Structure 1
């Protein structure tokens, strides 16, 4: 499932921006399909413009009936009556998503015989302090089994003692959910931490859900700003 909202506060209409001949959302949809990992790939949107672009390449679209605060809420509505076990959420601004990282995320559930994991997501190590301190880069800290402890737009952990070595992780916008966890998410009201940080993964933590983080070294490019788009165009070429 690829949630796709036309409006975006930081970069309006970014999903319909041209990425070397096709809109960003079409590039993302095709990247997900081309992994060959999924029974079905849908774009879930409230935008007729986005729906038309996906339809023109033969893609499948689900139109949202309600207004939604987050991509997870949008997907929860879409899968309500579907017979599915695991749902993968790929952000619409991730045209460089790769098969290896997605396969690692899916493997979390294949190994979870006792079904204790509610969702899985991706993280990648980062070392550039400009990126670490950038509020557009969501960071995550984990425990010794790589379960998420917290997500933030601030640098976490804070480098109070610079002699202590610590790895910083960037949270990548890919989630794998058990259906029940996603439906629960839609029913749970947003709490202050999520509202303050504007990071939907925090809602799961605030309500005691277990998020398994999967490390990947494939960084890709998330398109949050016009500068990101120019970077993506250069990389695509």
Structure 2
């Protein structure tokens, strides 16, 4: 476990595609709890960042750490930045791990953290290539973000559209 790593999990209730998603029941636990439990076992510290009192109460009910952020945050990244500014303890690696990824694996989080073993790494993200025979309907799914990288794996841009 890396004590210099904090995972901030942005979670908002007012999602445009699935309002209340962080509180969706997954076999008796809210989705945000499933994510938190996966993350908390891998990093030094996990914190849920939210602007919603219902999510705050749910996180506190399962014993998780939570910080309230402004409802004016325009993205999860902005929410993470505000949260870290409020509760950061000098951690050197800040992970923005999405509140709707209840199946994220410890190995994936570890892989992301290991990207920071290289001193030149300032930012990193997990990505997986689509198989050559991927159906167009899967590629066209706006719920699946796409990334274009250069030959060294550096992100050029992200899109929810087919690129």
Q: TM-score, normalised by structure 2?
A: 0.87
Match of 1:22 in 2: 29
Separation of aligned partners in 2, 1:73 and 1:31 = 23
SS at 1:12 equivalent: coil
Question: Highest Rg: 1 or 2?
Answer: 1
* 1:108 shift after superposition: 0.9
Task: Report SS of the residue matched to 1:15.
Answer: helix
Which ranges of structure 2 fall in alignment gaps of 5 or more residues?
1-7
For residue 3 of structure 2, what is the aligned residue in structure 1? none
Determine if the alignment matches structure 1 residue 88 to structure 2 residue 92.
Answer: no
Whether the aligned pair in 1 keeps the contact of 2:39 and 2:109 (CA below 8 Å) is no
In the TM superposition, structure 1's runs of 4+ consecutive aligned residues that sit over 6 Å from their partners are none
Q: Which residue of 1 aligns with 2:72?
A: 67
Taking only aligned residues, the RMSD between alpha carbons, in angstroms, comes to 1.4
Deviation at 1:66, TM superposition (A): 5.3
Match of residue 126 from structure 2:
122
Normalised TM-score (structure 1): 0.61
- Give yes or no for contact 2:11–2:99 (8 Å, CA) kept in 1: yes
- Give structure 1 stretches of 5+ with no counterpart: 157-237
| CA-CA distance at 1:42 after TM superposition | 0.5
1:11 positional shift: 1.0
Partner residue, 1:166: none
Q: What number of residue pairs does the alignment pair up?
A: 151
Deviations 1:81-132 (A, max 9, x none): 521211011111110011111111111111x23x3x3210011122232111
